[in-house]
A and B are shown apart, each in its own frame.
Chain A
Amino acid sequence: MATSAVEHAAPDAPAAHSKTGVWSWITTVDHKRIGIMYGVSAFVFFMFGGLEALLLRIQLGSADNTFLSPDVYNQLFTMHGTTMIFLGVMPLSAMFFNFMIPLQIGARDVVFPRLNSFSFWMFLVGAIVLNVSFLFNAAPNAGWFGYANLTETQYSPGLNTDFWVIGLMALGVASLAAAVNFFVTIINMRAPGMRLLRMPMFVWMSFITQVLLLLAFPIITVALIFLMADRYFGANFFQPDANGDPMLWQHLFWIFGHPEVYILILPPFGIVSEILPVFSRKPLFGYAAMVFSGAFIAVLGFGVWSHHMFATGMGPIADASFGLLTLLIAIPTGVKIFNWIGTIWGGSLQMKTPMYFALGFIAMFIIGGLSGIMHAAVPADLQQTDTYFVVAHFHYVLFGGSIFALLAGAYYWMPKMFGFMLNERIGKIQFWLMFIGFNITFFPMHFLGLHGMPRRVYTYPEGLGFEFWNLIETAGSMLLGFSFLVFIWNIWLSKRAGVAAPADPWDGATLEWSIPSPPQEFNFAEIPTVHARDPLWEQKRSQGRPLPEPPRVSGEGIHLPNPSVKPLITALGIGVFFTGFLLGSPWPIPASLTINLPVVLIGFAMTAYGILSWAFEPA
């Protein structure tokens, strides 16, 4: 379907393509531009998700509040979870996969540039499908986990769950296409000498993430197909009347869902493992242990799904096995945390903004990790499950973990991506606002949870002792939301100030710092040869001095893949195909036809045209 990036086009293929304008962005196959598009759209969706959270917090700020109706509350908490996971953290990681993996392994692009562009557009289609639901007052409202048989037609008759099913299917296609692409890129596009155990840790953790994506997403796809079959075609997969078992949904969902949480955290692990050595002025402690603990986490990640289901009554043997396996995960995770501390230990710390966020990540992730271990104890979990204690736990790992690390990555890599330095002072102010706001918002949730406040419920009555901490949390969440405005303000101000970023502002260790900021379209004028881990440090050490600023060169004679609109057509085709499932039949007969067949067929034809014309288009 896709042609390799390194394959050269026909000599008569149109070589000159315009480098500016909207069309050049729509048809781009440049991994850096695609990365930026991922980043911008993911940040917009992240802000949506944050806004949803703030509305939820306002509702919970006082007892018996009527700010949101129960139905709107359900829609908002479902969309908050779905958005943050699939449209926030995952594509923010994808931004760094796109921009940084080729640079860090010394490649000119990913292996299949057009497939890469397809992944982005498919992601955007899925994200829009999910969010368009708000315009019809039919946003998904059954939780991000979509437990059957709550999602069956008799309990969720509206379009809400249909939007959710179809949006997630589209996002799954995007993730799988991207995962194949990055998996092959990392295996096959490394610069000479970049052996597997010389790869930067971010590349390693991203690689493991791609494996998780490849193996986990097919399972949620199958679960969604079953749900769709039930809802649209009257199948019996989750219908207790027909002896269908709602537990099957939970098993399939969490066999996907637990690897998914490692999909959310492993790339941030990689980011932090890049930043700590650079700002501690010493190599990563225990490189090999870091690689293998990451791989071990991924393997265990497929064997612990039922710890999300202790309350379903699986029996003591299943509970004990899954509890034990879950405890095991503490070992490789602990290895990582000690190695990070070992990296900082004795280093000459450069307290720049990325370092603040990376250190904040370690502290917050430890708290989230510890409450995670508490959940592994089945009797304790039975008390904690469905309470705010769990909400506290996963916000400490997902926000305190993933988001802190992603911001560390943003402060670390944005000078490379955009060519200007971010304001250090505002960056540190943002860190403290975010750090304090985050802890005020989420730490009291531990108390509320242990006092029995249930999650997913739109309000609580007066007199249960929940008012005080909820009010504090709501205030904290406003501070947390404000810290992101400071982030945007920082970008705007720094861009206006225009302090040009040198190629290597942090005295970095990896190859992305060996080329100008922002990189030229072809990345490397000459493909580097790698002789050691931390190749750029090695190069600087062997020369005994800082390297000169790399010149911007013309890049003439370097073949680049041609821009293409076919990936967009294919993604739109799939989008139209799925839209046909949301529109309903245009004809009254037969009554069993629940989809808009003409739209589905048009979408199918568009997709087929997109794929075939793509296959025959010179790359």
Chain B
Amino acid sequence: MSHDTAHALHPPTTTGLDNRKLAIWTFIGSEVMFFSALIGTYLVYKGKSVVGPFPHEEWTSPTGEHFEHIFEIPLVTFGTAVLLFSSFFVVLALAGAQRGNRKMLIGWLSATVVAGLFFVGMQVYEFSHFMDKGLGYTTNLFGSTFYTLTGFHGAHVTVGLIWLGTLLILSLRGKIPPEKALNLELAALYWHFVDVVWIVIFPVVYLMK
């Protein structure tokens, strides 16, 4: 993120691609491996927990304690939809930035941040709710892998929110003119990636039985 005033003096790059954009794509390529390892581990350990609670089935412990199944699909489906819409919102915000339409930029960027906040809020609620249902981080393999995978995704969403929030403050001060729309585009690329990861996590973790 560069915000110096004298800008647009880019000497052409070898490929014509913007350096920072290429760097974000490179970083995303690396992140794919990060999430692949997390998701792969979740799959390897799926159904391997020796004690409950379990994601989709009820469980009664040897001492007679009863546990409901953990996942509740409606809430997370709604959260998923909101996160996906936030990707759409940030595209509109970028279009606003590129056209110099400040209202469009600020409006849709705010909507993106609100949607992201909603998703993180949903996750916080979900985590505490699952804890109440008896699934701690140390309870079983399901708990360890589920909280680690979705927790790291949530941390990525949070970083994206800080980034987009910073850009929102800048745009409120009029510091994202069209020639600096790339600053938003970089954040948007990252944001889309975080959403795409969730598109994989949602069916693999929540829907697959």
Asked if residues B30 and A7 are in contact (CB atoms below 8 Å), the reply is: no
Q: Is A233 an interface residue (CB 8 A)?
A: yes
Interface residue from B1, B4, B20, B41 paired with A618 (Cβ < 8 Å): B4
Q: How far is the CA of A184 from the CA of B90 in the complex (A)?
A: 26
A218 touches B37 (CB 8 A): yes
Q: Which residue of A lies closest to B17 (CB)?
A: A188
B148 touches A229 (CB 8 A): yes
Q: With A6-B11, A9-B6, A217-B30 known to touch, is A180 a contact of B138 (CB < 8 Å)?
A: no
Q: Is the CB of B19 within 8 A of A215?
A: no
Interface mask (B40-73 → A, CB under 8 Å = 1, otherwise 0) = 0100110011110000000000000000000000
| B30 close to A194 (CB less than 8 A) | no
Q: Is residue B9 contacting chain A, with contact meaning CB distance below 8 A?
A: yes
Contact partner, A237, options B2, B27, B144, Cβ 8 Å: B144
Assuming the contacts A222-B41, A229-B144, asked whether A188 and B19 have C-beta atoms less than 8 A apart, the reply is yes
Cα–Cα, bound, A219→B145 (Å)? 15
Q: Does A245 contact B (CB under 8 A)?
A: yes
Check if A63 is an interface residue, CB within 8 A of chain B.
Answer: no
Instruction: A103 to B34: give the CA distance in the assembly, Å.
Output: 32
Inter-chain contact A215/B137, CB cutoff 8 Å: no
CB-contacts of B133-152 with A (<8 A) = 137-138, 140-141, 143-145, 148, 152
Please tell me if the beta carbons of B38 and A214 are within 8 angstroms of each other in the complex: no
Q: Does B23 reach chain A (CB closer than 8 Å)? A: yes
For A4, what are the chain B residues with a Cβ–Cβ distance below 8 Å?
2, 10, 19-20
Shortest CB distance B149–A (Å): 10
Q: Are B27's CB and A180's CB within 8 A?
A: yes
Give Cα distance in the complex from A221 to B31, angstroms.
Answer: 11
- On whether A225 and B148 interact (CB within 8 A), knowing A6-B19, A236-B138, the answer reads yes
B3 at the interface (CB under 8 A from A): yes
A272 to B201, CA, bound (A): 45
CB <8 Å contact, B144 and A235? yes
Assembly CA distance A9 to B7 (angstroms): 8
Q: Which residues of chain B are near A176, meaning CB under 8 Å?
A: 30
A226 in the interface, Cβ–Cβ < 8 Å? yes
Query: How many B residues touch A, CB cutoff 8 Å?
Result: 44
Contacts of A3 in B (CB 8 A): 1-2, 4, 20
Tell me the residues in window 228-260 of chain A with beta carbons closer than 8 Å to chain B beta carbons.
Answer: 229, 233-237, 242-245, 248, 252, 255
Asked if A2 contacts B148 (CB within 8 A), the reply is no
Within 8 Å by CB of B4, from A13, A179, A245, lies: A13
Instruction: Type the 1/0 row for A22-51, where 1 means its CB is closer than 8 Å to any CB of B.
Output: 000000000000000000000000000000
Smallest distance from the beta carbon of B109 to chain A beta carbons, Å? 17
Contact A222 B138 (CB under 8 A): no
**Is B29's CB within 8 Å of the partner chain A?**
yes
B14 pairs with A218, CB closer than 8 A: no
Q: Is the CB of B41 within 8 A of A226?
A: yes
- What is the 8 Å Cβ interface bit string for chain A, positions 587-619, against chain B (1 contact, 0 not)? 000000000000000000000000010011011
B44 and chain A: residue at smallest CB distance: A248
* A177 CB, min distance to chain B CBs, angstroms: 9
Whether B14 contacts A194 by the Cβ 8 Å rule is: yes
A3, A236, A612 interface centre (most CB from chain B within 10 Å): A236
Is the pair A243, B37 in contact by a Cβ cutoff of 8 Å?
no
Known: A180-B30, A184-B19, A222-B37. A9 touches B137 (CB 8 A): no
Query: Which of B1, B38, B144, B148 sits near A1, CB closer than 8 Å?
Result: B1
Q: Is the CB of B137 within 8 A of A219?
A: no
Cβ of B33 under 8 Å from chain A? yes
30 CB-based A-B contacts, threshold 8 Å: A3-B2, A3-B4, A4-B20, A6-B13, A7-B2, A7-B7, A10-B6, A13-B4, A176-B30, A180-B30, A181-B23, A184-B19, A187-B15, A187-B17, A189-B13, A189-B14, A215-B29, A216-B33, A218-B31, A219-B34, A225-B148, A225-B152, A236-B140, A236-B143, A237-B144, A237-B145, A243-B45, A243-B48, A245-B44, A252-B41
